Structure 1
Amino acid sequence: MNDAYKRTVSIASAPNLRDLGGIPIENGNIKRGLLYRSASLSSLTDTDQGWFSTLGIGTVYDFRTAAEAVESPDRLPTGSDRISLDVLADASASIAASVGQLTTDPQAFVASLTDGQAEHLFEDSYRDFVRMPSALTAYRSFFLSLIDEDRHGAALFHCTTGKDRTGWAAASLLTLLGVNEADVYDDYLQTNTDLLPALEHVLQNAESHGVERETLMPVLGVRESYLAAAFEQMREQFGSINEYARDGLGLTSEQLHRLRTNLT
């Protein structure tokens, strides 16, 4: 898939924002302008709210924890409704929900992330996105809301950096829609291009506290092994993506058909 740059939406205060439309499926492409993914919208400026409004986004799905959302609430323009879907509500701790600590205490955050520990923690978090009850509840609600006839406008989903909880939401949805594996990974890895430049201030802050930026790359970026861990958990626990949707998320064949019809 070589048109990822065409799907990226350049709004400075809304990093890692892109349209899932245009990604190819067997008999065409996912429809454009219906579904977007991004990082947190807590820094959306007044000026950029105007640009954001032109996307016609009526519903924003927030996968962050309650604590994350309270600390950095979304700044949405009038006409966009926010729905909280706490993927990690059942987790006592998760590295995916702790990235924000990099801005306050980077040394403490990276203290235990040596010798590949970061990669291991992220891979385990991605397994939680598949097996944790709160994650199953959140993603079920997300998919069902996408086919809710009372929902208006386009939809956007995000977490803090738009790469992990958001990454699995996108990857599982794209797979259910019939996107091939290579293109699913292409969209996932596009975060390394779209997000990292916006996190330069985080890297510089960490460096000012004696933390080498290379140490943070497994934390601030995404890696194939992270998403692979989620898919592996899905196959181990459910067998296939359709069985994950049916037995894990409780979606019916009719609901899956409507999801595919609405978006493709």
Structure 2
Amino acid sequence: MSTSPTVGAGIPIASVPNLRDIGGYPTADGAKVRTGVVYRSTDLGRVVDGDVAALDALGIGTVFDLRTAAERELLPDRIPTGAKEIALDVLADTDPSAAPAMMQQILTDPALAEQLLGAGDAKDYLAKSYREFVTLPSAVAAYQELFTDLARGGDAPVLIHCTTGKDRTGWAVASLLLFLGVDEDTVYTEYLLTNEQLLPAFEPVFDKFRAAGGNPDILLPILGVRRTYLDSALDQVRADFGDVAGYFERGLGLEPRDLAALRERLLVRS
């Protein structure tokens, strides 16, 4: 007898770590988030030939790439067969040294990593970035387009990613699940799955960083996720808009028909 995949379980495609379906979670009003519609992952710049078929099997119709132009140029996606890619630069309006935008350089340059993170302020660095996910004009525009396209059908299923699939992507998924009515504890649990599903894939990165003279321990706060990072974004939302519903309505300026369509499209009711 077949069984349904465990909610939140990683999809085992080795060259696309942190890949999972965001569906299956219950909402406060008794519905469930629909499965097979929205996936999240790291970038698709390292997809190996042997993983192409498995990735294609998900039937992805649209890839939303939340990376900067520089990140996309450095490591272009190998998108699934037949899919279209939409580039949404969340951090276009921020300091180019913001932690998420500098991820690739930080991972390969111990001197830069020490300069930016060695004082132990990585958590503050990430917290600032998360607040900017709510306030930056480029972030507002990117998330508005993402959720509008998702509401209006687009080419489904969709895959949302950034570089490591944990910060820009993490906020997209967390805010969407909260908007749909998933309780906050469950959303934090989904968010923190990245620590289980991503960090093991970085062992080669840690090894290379160590070999280049760096201390891998300083990478942990920036490669993993912490409750305090998501707290920062939600604190900003509450200060500016009251709650996530207000953020979607007034912060992102989504039209009433799109707010309703998101719920209709992404929720399953018994």
CA distance, structure 2, for counterparts of residue 252 and residue 7 of structure 1? 33
Q: Match for 1:15 among 14, 17, 35?
A: 17
Report the AA paired with residue 219 of structure 2.
L
1:26-175 aligned at under 5 Å gives the runs 26=28, 27-93=30-96, 94-149=98-153, 151-175=154-178
Which stretch shifts more, 133-142 or 7-16? 7-16
* Aligned-partner SS, 2:163: coil
CA distance, structure 1, for counterparts of residue 172 and residue 233 of structure 2? 11
CA distance, structure 2, for counterparts of residue 166 and residue 77 of structure 1? 18
Q: Provide the TM-score with structure 2 as the length reference.
A: 0.93
Which stretch shifts more, 100-109 or 54-63? 100-109
* Aligned-partner SS, 2:85: strand
Distance 1:201 1:102, change over 3 A: farther
Distance 1:4 1:224, change over 3 A: farther
- Measured against aligned partners, the alpha-carbon deviations of 1:41-100 in whole angstroms (never above 9, x if no partner) come to 101112211101111110000000000001100001321110000000001221111110
Report the AA paired with residue 19 of structure 1.
D
CA distance, structure 2, for counterparts of residue 199 and residue 148 of structure 1? 36
Residue pair 2:61, 2:155 contacting (<8 A) in 1 also: yes
Which stretch shifts more, 112-121 or 181-190? 112-121
CA distance, structure 1, for counterparts of residue 116 and residue 8 of structure 2? 38
Which stretch shifts more, 100-109 or 180-189? 100-109
Q: Match for 2:232 among 217, 229, 234?
A: 229
- Measured against aligned partners, the alpha-carbon deviations of 1:2-26 in whole angstroms (never above 9, x if no partner) come to x866531110111100001111213
Flag as ranges the 4+ runs of structure 1 deviating above 6 A. Answer: none
Which stretch shifts more, 193-202 or 23-32? 23-32
Report the AA paired with residue 245 of structure 2.
N
- Measured against aligned partners, the alpha-carbon deviations of 1:217-257 in whole angstroms (never above 9, x if no partner) come to 10110000000000001111111111111111111232111
Residue pair 2:45, 2:76 contacting (<8 A) in 1 also: yes
Match of 1:219 in 2: 222
Match of 2:198 in 1: 195
Structural RMSD (CA): 1.4
Residue pair 1:102, 1:206 contacting (<8 A) in 2 also: no
Distance 1:4 1:225, change over 3 A: farther
Q: Which runs of 5+ in 1 are unaligned?
A: none
Q: Which runs of 5+ in 2 are unaligned?
A: none
* Aligned-partner SS, 1:126: helix
Report the AA paired with residue 140 of structure 1.
Q
Residue pair 1:102, 1:202 contacting (<8 A) in 2 also: no
Which stretch shifts more, 130-139 or 94-103? 94-103
What is the aligned length?
Answer: 261
Q: Match for 2:260 among 246, 257, 261?
A: 257
Match of 2:185 in 1: 182
Kindly, what percent of the aligned residue pairs are identical? 46
CA distance, structure 2, for counterparts of residue 48 and residue 18 of structure 1? 15
